Amino acid sequence: MKPHFSLNIIKEKGITTYNQKSQRFPLYAYCFLLEGEVLVEVEGQNLLISPGQFVLIPPQQAIEVKYFDNCQGYDGSFALEFLKDASYPVLRSSILIQQSFWFEDAVFMGSLLQRMKTVYEDKDRTFLQSALDLILGQLRPGGKVAVVSERFLQLVFEKDAIPLSVAEYASQLGVTPNYLNKTVKNRTRRTAIDWIEIARLNIAKSLLKDPSISIADISARVGLPDQSYFSRFFKKKTGLTPSEFRNA
């Protein structure tokens, strides 16, 4: 059973940033969040997954997990051969499906996946097939992506890029700073500057692990060339100065 179906528990405390290469999986991949959020890049498109959202990704898509924030939920994969019924419309889509479940529906989905995890350990294939039928039957293809906010996240978390200001990102995206802030806040529950500061902090923490890189250079590489301002920013976010963090 395991080569055709898997189910894992997601439990990530705190904020975690990944610098891994993208991977292509031969099976359908899925994820459902109970708490927190995950930022995933799929085929060059940044996807923010929030509580109550179920995501289904077709096979052979390039997937890269970029960011976790206090997450609980489930993820896994399956092959068409594992299903009792492979005729669901979402399985004919070549693009990912992201669908929100609210209130009782979200509670039901979480309970179903919890039960599936227990049954998975017992290798009850029949129940797992029926549960997948139920989930796939509730998914609908054709969801639209909030292009501006997803492109913004891609720019902010682009590897080796120096974080810019909201105005500079807005200019690159051809929108006003106010529109960018509003769109990003509506889509992610965080402002554009919140995401920029998360990116700055993650880059700084990573570079501070290398003692050969000076704090002045790190300050410049996170887009805050004023070293004293960078130090105040870092201490406000972590409770430590850059030097204290490096020597901890």
My answer on whether 114 and 237 are in the same domain is no
Report whether pLDDT(29) > 80: yes
What is the gyration radius of the CA atoms in the chain, in angstroms?
Answer: 20
My answer on whether 158 and 129 are in the same domain is no
Report whether pLDDT(69) > 70: yes
Contact 83, 30 (CB under 8 A): no
Report whether pLDDT(3) > 60: no
CA distances to 20, 196, 203 from 154, rounded to whole Å, are 15, 11, 15
- CB proximity list for 25: less than 8 A, separation 6 or greater: 57, 59, 60, 61, 63, 77
Q: Tell me the mean pLDDT in the region 67-94.
A: 91
pLDDT of residue 57: 95
My answer on whether 120 and 67 are in the same domain is yes
End residue of a domain, out of 138, 173, 196: 138
Report whether pLDDT(1) > 50: no
Any idea what the CATH number is for the domain that residue 77 is in?
A: 2.60.120.280
Q: What is the pTM of this model?
A: 0.66
My answer on whether 124 and 198 are in the same domain is no
How many Cβ atoms from other residues are within 10 Å of residue 78's Cβ? 20
- CB proximity list for 7: less than 8 A, separation 6 or greater: 74, 75, 76, 113, 116, 117, 120, 128
Whole domain around residue 213: which residue ranges?
147-247
pLDDT tens digits, 173-204:
888 999 899 888 887 778 999 999 988 998 99
Among 105, 140, 106, 135, residue whose Cα is nearest residue 5: 135
